Chains A and B, each alone.
Chain A
């Protein structure tokens, strides 16, 4: 790392810190993975509030109000199964970053300099081959478009979730089909498929749900949503 020279005392502390292993309790990795799976299965409901706040903060009043209204309806209808506090925590954090896409978009227009609270770049068109760098650098315009896509994608899936929890499974299916059409390789593809399977089951189209589940298993081996899909089809 270039820049100002590091104080030798400081460098010694750095070296010692790096030499000391992370103090990870036994079984923590498995417990965390279980928790991730549970939070993903529970969906993004609670996080919608965080996303709406992000939209409001950047002046996207209409969009935020629409989302907030939807969530309000959902919250009223879903009173029988409120999310656990720790799930609320998790999804607020998770979806605030997804929903913050529009906020970042607007911020970029107002402030040319990048901001610290901007999340890493969103690029929704292609899945990575592997987590290794390439030489391509993202341009601001692509970034804004990607941020907008992320927000629209999230809104579609959220609306479908609300429709499903409100007992309108056919409407949820329509919304999810719209998502599949507009974002065939979007970041929420696996969530969309899980919701679609749930909506098909709720509509009594169990055979269609099973076919879709088979397809899901083939396309997304090892997905964290698989357990929830299996549970849905065991009912």
Chain B
């Protein structure tokens, strides 16, 4: 087999990158520009892609680094992505949308490292080994961050439920 065509890779993974950037808290108005940066890096590094790694964690690692570099340049704390979301409530079930917004807001309150492991391991379902390779961490560090991040999120979820029981979805399944 020959080298994969970049455009094919792009079409296949564009939505994943977009979703990852939303989860990483990139403001909606900046999503297109940041997605461009992610794919510029991916394009240049595609020939160097190590097939020992699954592709999406590799791509997520690039997205994570691009977002972090961007934040360093902007020199400001990330704002919760939910503030920039224009959620089309008419298209989706309200409870689902509300829960997704809640989770994105909670993710935005985590440190970048904890957020990354939650996205890769809990939302994308990647193994700790693949998450470690993608983020340049040891497997132990991934587990440690994951444990602490889940604990923080659980506390936030409990607090949100106490303060404003809006997402009955979460409570209902508990």
A residues bordering B, Cβ < 8 Å? 1-4, 6-24, 28-29, 31-33, 35-36, 39-40, 50, 86, 89-94, 96-98, 104, 113-124, 127-138, 146, 150, 185-189, 191, 221-224
- B104: nearest residue on chain A (CB-CB)? A17
B24 to chain A, nearest CB (A): 13
- A135: nearest residue on chain B (CB-CB)? B52
Type the 1/0 row for B32-72, where 1 means its CB is closer than 8 Å to any CB of A.
11011101110111111111111100100110011011100
Choice from B1, B66, B113, B134 contacting A93 with Cβ under 8 Å: B66
A92–B74 Cα distance when bound, in Å, is: 13
- B55: nearest residue on chain A (CB-CB)? A131
Choice from A19, A90, A185 contacting B37 with Cβ under 8 Å: A90
Q: B residues within 8 A CB of A115?
A: 136-137
A8–B1 Cα distance when bound, in Å, is: 44
Q: Can you list 5 A-B pairs, Cβ within 8 angstroms, ordered by A?
A: A22-B19, A31-B32, A90-B33, A121-B133, A132-B54
Q: B residues within 8 A CB of A98?
A: 41, 44-45
A93 close to B70 (CB less than 8 A): yes
Contacts A94-B41, A128-B47 given; does A6 touch B150 at CB 8 Å:
yes
A222 close to B3 (CB less than 8 A): no
A185 to chain B, nearest CB (A): 7
A120 close to B62 (CB less than 8 A): yes
Contacts A16-B103, A32-B32 given; does A23 touch B86 at CB 8 Å:
yes
Interface size class of B (residues with CB under 8 A): 35 or more
B123 close to A18 (CB less than 8 A): yes
B96 close to A136 (CB less than 8 A): no
A92–B4 Cα distance when bound, in Å, is: 26
Q: Total contacts A to B, CB within 8 angstroms?
A: 259
B residues bordering A, Cβ < 8 Å? 1-7, 9-11, 14-15, 18-19, 22, 31-33, 35-37, 39-41, 43-55, 58, 61-62, 65-66, 68-70, 73, 85-88, 92, 95-97, 99-100, 102-104, 106, 113, 116, 121-123, 125-128, 132-138, 141, 143, 146-147, 150-151, 153-154, 157-158, 161, 167, 169-174
A134 close to B41 (CB less than 8 A): no
Q: B residues within 8 A CB of A6?
A: 122, 150
A23 close to B62 (CB less than 8 A): no
A4 to chain B, nearest CB (A): 5
B95 to chain A, nearest CB (A): 7
A130 close to B133 (CB less than 8 A): no
- A96: nearest residue on chain B (CB-CB)? B69
A20–B100 Cα distance when bound, in Å, is: 7
B138 close to A14 (CB less than 8 A): no
Choice from A20, A89, A113, A222 contacting B92 with Cβ under 8 Å: A20
Q: A residues within 8 A CB of B18?
A: 22, 24, 28
Residue from the set A1, A121, A124, A189 with the largest chain B CB neighbour count within 10 Å: A1
